Amino acid sequence: MTLADQIASHVQANTDRLVQTLCDLITFPSIVKADPRQAGPGERDCQLYLQQRLHELGMETDLWDPNGPALYEKYQGRPGAHKGRTFEGRPNLGGVLKGSGGGRSMMLNGHVDVVPPGAPEHWQTDPFMPVVKEGAVYGRGSVDMKGGVTCMLMALTFLKELNIPLAGDVVFTTVVDEEIGGMGSLAMVDRGFKADAGIMTEPTANRIAPICHGVLWGKIVLEGIGGHAELTPNSWDTSGPVDAIVLCRQMLDAIDILNRRWQYDRRKNHPLMNLPNQIIVTQLNAGEHPASLAGRAEIIIDVQYLPHEKDEFGLGGHVKRELEEFVAKVCEVDPWLRVHPARIEWILDADCAEVPADHPFVTTFQQAMAEAAMKPALVGFGAHSDIGLPGLFGTPTVNFGPGDPALCHQPNEHVPVADLVACTVAIALAIVRWSGEQQGPV
């Protein structure tokens, strides 16, 4: 029996334990709060559960509440540094499974925070009471990304049970704050957790993704003049009113035009990405009263950028300026906006990263995938993930995890049990092939 067969057979025989571990994690409502100074109701309890599981494997652990203000002061203007974060009751967790020495180390990383479940009536089940049906585990976080955290934990558990001693260390880290910008990952690498290579188990449908997007969140503010909606208006250049919703429509049309241009712009495309960079409108806020024209409108946007577009600080400064110049040009063609131009208030800049396809870890991981009879082809991760932060501190990291990424943040989020099994096998085999067995090459 080959090593891949040995690992696969053991994982298959213990599928129930794999599924139960994910169900355990889902029951913790580790919801990230919109106010980053507040702890989610289950963030700490979820990390305490994982810490206990690591202790059972004989791992040394470190559970700590990061110092948000101190981190911001230290890294201001750099990836992952966001003002106003506090972490009381929102701990990070790190652990190390020591190898015998002489091998390469690997870091496994995931986040335990999840987005709010949304309207209860959109769910067929309670989002925090996991249900296993039709070959899948349902619940908030099953895909994004407690399924991935389960697989990395169980890969280590099963390697221990198979008595496969490793030469290299395996570092296990789970963080908070990923869903609102990634400062938890900054705290993790600042704490000193690093390795020769890493896997971040974001959902990729079990495909290796060595690249992710950076994202900018911004608010385009359009100022009009409010007034009675039903009465004959005066001219815009006297007393108005000027309907901010009309101005909003103009700006939305312009964003559509720019998206069509980006579709064929080389700078906005990457061969591993399925889609070009996009400016995605995610929220609209306008109007004060049913009988009043809107005096103000706000368009919330999510803007993607690629690693080759990063500025000198590793962030999206170039793309910010590109958007600001575009909005200024749009305003020039409207007489009101020429005098009262729209402005962009930037909310968040979350970095991106790319590990070269010929990096030794990428090729080793691909070989392990082929050994496990899985597809070794590389893909792009279309959203932001935190892989850039370990990379900045010397740990080249790829995304790889179970589940359909399109189900992230959706009601009735679910991950196939078969994906969990395959992911666990692949991670376990990649650990062995990268770190090496204690008694020599496999």
Residue carrying structure tokens 């579709």: 263
Q: How far apart are CA 19 and CA 22, in angstroms?
A: 5
Instruction: State both tokens at 115.
Output: 């987005």
* pLDDT value for 438: 57
β-pairing, 292-293 vs 343-350, is unpaired
* pLDDT value for 33: 87
* pLDDT value for 440: 43
* pLDDT value for 437: 67
β-pairing, 170-175 vs 92-97, is antiparallel
Per-residue pLDDT of the chain (442 residues; tens, 9 = 90+): 899 999 999 999 999 999 999 999 999 999 998 787 788 889 999 999 999 999 999 999 999 999 999 999 999 999 999 988 899 999 999 999 999 999 999 999 999 999 999 999 999 999 999 999 999 999 999 999 999 999 999 999 999 999 999 999 999 999 999 998 889 999 999 999 999 999 999 999 999 999 999 999 999 999 999 999 999 999 988 888 999 999 999 999 999 999 999 999 999 999 999 999 999 999 999 999 999 999 999 999 999 999 999 999 999 999 999 999 999 999 999 999 999 999 999 999 999 999 999 999 999 999 999 999 999 999 999 999 999 999 999 999 999 999 999 999 999 999 999 999 999 999 999 999 999 865 444 3
pTM above 0.85, yes or no: yes
E strands, 226-342, are 227-228, 279-286, 292-293, 296-305
Contact 184, 354 (CB under 8 A): no
CB under 8 Å to 313, separation ≥6 — which residues? 77, 78, 79
Pick the closest to residue 113 from 184, 179, 26 (CA basis): 179
Q: How far apart are CA 193 and CA 185, in angstroms?
A: 10
Q: How far apart are CA 283 and CA 248, in angstroms?
A: 12
